[in-house]
Amino acid sequence: MKDAEELAFLSWFTEHGGWIDQSLSLEKIPGMGRGLVATRPIAENERLFSIPRSMLLNLGTSALVPACEAAERARPPKAGHAWSDVMDRGWCPLILMLMWEHRHASTQEHNERFTWGPYFGIMPTLFTTPMFWNSNQLHELQGTDVEDKIGRTEAEADYYECVLPYVQQYPDVFLGPGVHDVPAEISKWYHIDLYHRMGSLLLSRSFHVKRDLNHAESDDADISSAPAEVAVERAIPRNEAQDEQGDDEEEEAEIEIQDDEDDEEKGENEEDVRDISMVPMADMLNAKFGSENTRCFYKREALEMRCTRPIAVGEQLLNTYGNPPNSDLLRRYGFVDEPNRGDLLELPATTIFDAALTKLSLATQASEDVIRTFLMPRFEWACTELGIDEVFLLCRLSKPKNTAPYAGTLSLDTSRPLTSADRRVLSRASGEISDDLVGFVRLLCVTQDDFERAKKKEALPNARLDAVEAMDASWPGSPPKGAMLSVASVLRDALALRGQAYPTTWKDTAKALVECTASSEDPYRMALVVRAGDQAILQEHTTVTELVLAHARAQASGAASNPAPSKKARRT
């Protein structure tokens, strides 16, 4: 039975032009909040629901922007506290818009215009994202890529330096005229906790929606014909969008908007916050890695959600979040997939540099300061001249098991000799390690002459994980005569250094996750799942580098008779 909030939302949705197939049921899904479930078989490409553009909540549909512009015309803002300054602070204008609309909906002011009251009523007020965890819970994320990306400190700086002063400057806009106790009303409707809550709603539920309708289908188009152009993608904050890579570059390019001079002046990786919308009903769809069965398309006056494959009775409608790793799922949406084939781990270039520094200092008997001075030009050249990212992404090298702790299924064992089948698996697995990563590691290992050759070619050395580099007289210190440096050994040491960041070993993390009986929404369990995914990736990469290193050593000693596994297994 639907609760009062669900009934109010569905009524509001249809009364204001929304349409939803009556066979879809809005239900509470264990561990996922609310979701839509099919109560009849649904064929591929059927329309599930449609949302008029007037119902989207964004900077174009909200009345906040014109209200602020009118207030600034009547009384110019203080230096550094204009609406244009708010617009320059990432998602600040969007969060402030939600706070403003939330107050109007809650107080039922401005009844002459459209409000999103029932929509706010059905959205969550409690979140399981790390933004709201306590210090003990956050400790469980130590070492993960989530730890430094929660952004609470940055968000609060935006609030106190930008949002709050702007609200205080124009109380008539944000509180209405004639308010006597302005500080008390600001504390009620624009406090820091609500700022975090609205920011989390944006992070977990907003979409990028095209404003350029030049290529949209007409509203009376037959939806069973050729699919409309994809219009809606989950929104990512500007500073994160630079790190995101879509699966289809052409489709991603179509989604970007450049419809006026301001857009043309934006940097290549910058987003326009005017393209970010809250999309009622579409944000009710949950997601799971590789399980999406719907997609949102646009027309001139509406957005339409269609199914991309047949949906059975009782099956949940699932959207796609782009199949992000658990570290991103947890930080943005407050859940994790168990298991997640899309898990990724960041390996900073500085960690590789530190591993090479330690190994080379021991090998050459030179101080670390001397080696650092020798290697730093290589590091800087790769990052500045070649544009190499200062963080490399490591992926799972095999499908994870379906049961905790979700270890990989890589069938390689460092304790026994490689069979011909093992060598094929090793070749494929090593092929999953990026060329840029291996080339960067090798750059730190080559002689000075080889470094100069790389600069002339304007390219990293060939990405050979099994490469063994001679240490000649160009190296500082006193490397032993005939000393060799293995690329795989430096990468293995970097992986070990990265692994030291976690509070527990892979073995202990795995044991804790297997024994954990907490629910899937419990912060402790979710942190364990993220850590286990990270450490499983490290385990697989360590296994590959150790096997490649053993083969390289055997070759160097003349004991190997089989050819070394290639760096890259080309996909067909």
Buried b (16+ CB within 10 A) or exposed e, 422-431: bbebbbbbbb
**66-207 CATH, one of 3.30.420.40, 3.90.1410.10, 3.30.70.100, 2.40.37.10:** 3.90.1410.10
Least confident of 86-90, 201-205, 207-211, 306-310: 207-211
pLDDT at 572: 31
Q: Cα separation of 452 and 130, whole Å?
A: 46
Query: 344-559 falls under which CATH superfamily?
Result: Rubisco LSMT, substrate-binding domain (3.90.1420.10)
Confidence of residue 237 (pLDDT cuts 50, 70, 90): low
Specify the DSSP class assigned to residue 225: S
Q: Cα separation of 271 and 255, whole Å?
A: 11
pLDDT one-digit tens code per residue, 472-488: 999 999 888 888 999 99
How many CB atoms neighbour CB 69 within 10 A? 13
pLDDT at 30: 84
Confidence of residue 232 (pLDDT cuts 50, 70, 90): low
Tell me which residue of 303, 283, 280 sits closest to 114, measured CA to CA. 280
Written as six digits, the tokens of 89 are: 């602070």
Buried b (16+ CB within 10 A) or exposed e, 236-264: bbbebeeeeeeeeeeeeeebebeeeeebe
Q: Cα separation of 100 and 324, whole Å?
A: 31
Is the pLDDT score of 310 beyond 50?
Answer: yes
pLDDT one-digit tens code per residue, 26-44: 999 887 889 999 999 999 9
**Domain ranges in the chain?**
4-47+209-229+271-329, 66-207, 344-559
Burial (0-12, 13-18, 19+ Cβ within 10 Å), 15? exposed
User: Which H or E element spans position 526?
Assistant: helix 523-556
Longest Cα–Cα distance of the chain, Å, equals: 89
Specify the DSSP class assigned to residue 307: E
Residues 95, 163: contact at Cβ < 8 Å? yes
Confidence of residue 218 (pLDDT cuts 50, 70, 90): low
pLDDT at 109: 61
CA 423 to chain centre: 34
Instruction: Spell out the residues 6+ positions from residue 23 whose beta carbon is closer than 8 angstroms to its own.
Output: 38, 39, 40, 42
Q: Is 25 helix (H, G, I), strand (E, B) or coil?
A: strand
Q: Is 94 helix (H, G, I), strand (E, B) or coil?
A: helix
Does the 4-47+209-229+271-329 domain belong in CATH 3.40.50.300?
no
Beta strands 286-287; 318-319: pairing state: parallel
pLDDT at 2: 72
pLDDT at 224: 26
pLDDT at 300: 84
Q: Cα separation of 279 and 56, whole Å?
A: 5
Percent over 70 (pLDDT), the chain: 86
The more confidently predicted of residues 51 and 299 is 51
Instruction: Spell out the residues 6+ positions from residue 265 whose beta carbon is closer than 8 angstroms to its own.
Output: none
Give the mean pLDDT of 395-409. Answer: 96
Buried b (16+ CB within 10 A) or exposed e, 468-502: bbebeeebbbebeeeebbbbbbbbbbbbebbbeeb
> What is the rounded average pLDDT for all residues in the chain?
87
